Structure 1
Amino acid sequence: MSQLLGVAVLGAGHMGADHIRRLDSVVSGARVAAVADPAKERAEEAVAGLDGVFVHTEMTAALDAPGVEAVLIASPGPAHEEALLAAFARGLPVLCEKPMVPDSAGALRIVEAEARLGRRLTQVGFMRRYDAEYIGLKSLLDRGRLGRPLMLHCTHRNVSSPPGFTSAMLINSSVSHEIDAARWLLGQELTAVSVLRPRPSAHAPEGLLDPQFVLFETAGGALVDVEILVNSRFGYQVRCEAVCEAGSVRIGDAHTMVVTSAGGAYQEVAQDYLVRFADAYDREVREWVDATRRGQVTGPSAWDGYAASVVAEAGVRAQDTGDRVTVELAPRPDLYGRNPVSR
């Protein structure tokens, strides 16, 4: 491996451009070696000022560019399966933004393909595992000081939904973060899901069922509820409270700036996930680069990406039918260990 890990970034949109900036100016030990995006002008704009970067419109051309030793996938979800399989064929370690693959059948194909390789190459971009507050909550729960976790209460609010955002995407795009966070925090698989739909907000676009209340059951007998509101109008908020046998703990309240001025005070509310979780994204990519340079793959696995896809699909069925829907996972390959959730 070269002195600086050469990374091919697939996708130069909002997320991809931010990762290009991060690899260039925030994370040490890596460089952007190639970028691929169907809109070549967008890719060229994202790497403006960077030296020695190969820009392509085709994914495979970027993977085969000189100096590429690892891949960061930030393209739209439907393109992920092809990109992951192409990376596997080249033996390239991958950091893949969520969803790993949008549908569970495709996600299972990735799990099976990686299992056939006999080694992990994939880390899935569930960045909340790298947020300082979530790390603190995970550590507290693992130490058992508050006893057995009984419930997680989660809040997920966005300023507004983008054009084309569907009711199903409240589950498979937004709540997918809570799906992984709950599995990770509790160390348990989610076994069933129910969805309640109040009267839509006046701010929701026509036909969008926003907000929703999602209830998950876990293999260990805990409950996880998620309030998802994607047109709050006031800001981006993520909170989580764990209620345990001997106490409770909440995160997400203090991640803000308090401004005092002109005889009053107010709290600033982040308007974007890249602001709220900036440190988490930095830590995630930094740890991925460091592990890759050591020849290791850590963090959320392809199995975690698959499990999230299955649970999200069950959630969308529950949303459509109003029924409680059970979660059915395929047998977990030995490659991913005995623990149902990657650490």
Structure 2
Amino acid sequence: MGELLGVAVLGAGHMGADHIRRLDGVVSGARVAAVADPDTARAQEALAGIDGASVHADAVAALDAPGVGAVLIASPAPAHEEALLAAFARGLPVLCEKPMVPDAAGALRVVEAEARLGRRLAQIGFMRRYDAGYLRLKTLLDGGRLGRPLMLHCTHRNVSSPPHFTSAMLIDSSVSHEIDAARWLLGQELTAVTVLRPAPSPGAPPGLQDPQFVVFETDRGALVDVEAFVNCGFGYQVRCEVVGERGSARIGDEHGMVVTERGGACAEVPLDYLVRFADAYDREVQAWADAARRGRVTGPGAWDGYAASAVAEAGVRSLEDGGRVPVALAPRPALYGESGR
């Protein structure tokens, strides 16, 4: 346990650069050994002030760089499948940002490849499982204090969406976090999706269906609703309220400083996810590094990544075609047991 875990970071964009900073200055027991990005100048910039890391234009080449013992994938989602399979072939533990693979068929190929290995190597970056508020809500639900959960109400708002954002990405990129959080909090699978289309906000770019109202059904009769609004204009807000047989509980109101001055008070609202979930990201990467150094993988796994992709794919069909769309999951390999629920 004395040797630092050398990590190859794939992708040096907004998320990748933040993880490079985190591995270098926050996480103990790990270091950045290599960075891969087609824009090598961007990779060099992300490594400013960090010694001993190599830079690569090719992601797979970074896996073979000296000192690499683990992989953190923060590249665009279409590149994830190739990187995951390459990491599996080398026996490297992986932390892969969500979505694991955008399409359910590709995600299932990753699950099947890992199952053939007979051991888990992949953890998927659903960082809400490491957020203090979500952890408290999970503990409350598991303790049975509220009785059987009946409904889960979720809010997911962003200041604005990137230029490349599509209507489908509200579901397979933004709402994918709620998909995983709902499965984890409730301990239930999502079995059907209905996406409702309110009148688009004037702040949404032309052609973008924003906001969206998404309703999930579960295999034990609970309902989950998500307001996804990625061009709200005022801040980044994530809230979650569970309604049970004997009470309710809500998280997400407590973030940000409240300034009281003469004549009134003003509450700060975080402007993006890296601010709102900074602590959760720190805990997530630290837990992953600690486990990887022990030859283990914990946290949400490849099955969770596949389930999220399958549910999101059904959601996109509902968005495009209208109506309720059932979710069909492949049989769960024995490797994963019930760990994702």
What TM-score bracket applies, with the shorter chain setting the length?
over 0.9
Aligned to 2:143: 143
Normalising by structure 2, report the TM-score: 0.99
SS at match of 1:204: coil
Aligned to 1:191: 191
Alignment of 1:139-288 (within 5 A): 139-288=139-288
Alpha-carbon RMSD: 0.9
1:2 shift after superposition: 6.3
SS at match of 2:329: coil
CA distance in 1, matches of 2:139, 2:296: 23
Alignment of 1:81-100 (within 5 A): 81-100=81-100
CA distance in 2, matches of 1:227, 1:286: 31
Number of aligned residue pairs: give it.
341
Aligned to 1:110: 110
Task: Write out per-residue CA displacement over residues 34-70 of structure 1, whole angstroms, 9 at most, x where no aligned residue.
Answer: 0000000000000111111011101122100000000
Normalising by structure 1, report the TM-score: 0.98
Task: Write out per-residue CA displacement over residues 265-315 of structure 1, whole angstroms, 9 at most, x where no aligned residue.
Answer: 100000010000000000000000011111110000100000000000000
Q: Does 1:123 align with 2:123?
A: yes
Aligned to 2:314: 314
CA distance in 2, matches of 1:293, 1:53: 19
1:74 shift after superposition: 0.3
Q: Does 1:68 align with 2:72?
A: no
Matched residue type, 1:152: L
SS at match of 2:78: helix
Instruction: Give 5+ residue unaligned stretches, structure 2.
Output: none
1:259 shift after superposition: 0.8
Task: Write out per-residue CA displacement over residues 2-21 of structure 1, whole angstroms, 9 at most, x where no aligned residue.
Answer: 61000000000000000000
Matched residue type, 2:43: A
SS at match of 1:129: helix
1:260 shift after superposition: 1.5
CA distance in 1, matches of 2:40, 2:108: 32
CA distance in 1, matches of 2:121, 2:203: 42
CA distance in 2, matches of 1:232, 1:262: 28
Matched residue type, 2:143: R
SS at match of 1:281: helix
1:263 shift after superposition: 3.0
Matched residue type, 1:39: D
CA distance in 1, matches of 2:251, 2:34: 38
Instruction: Give 5+ residue unaligned stretches, structure 1.
Output: none
1:342 shift after superposition: 2.1
CA distance in 2, matches of 1:283, 1:2: 20
1:330 shift after superposition: 0.3
Identity of aligned residues (%): 79
Matched residue type, 2:233: R
SS at match of 1:315: helix
1:256 shift after superposition: 1.6
SS at match of 1:213: strand
Matched residue type, 1:122: A
Matched residue type, 2:340: S
Greater shift, 2-11 or 136-145, is seen at: 2-11
CA distance in 2, matches of 1:17, 1:104: 28
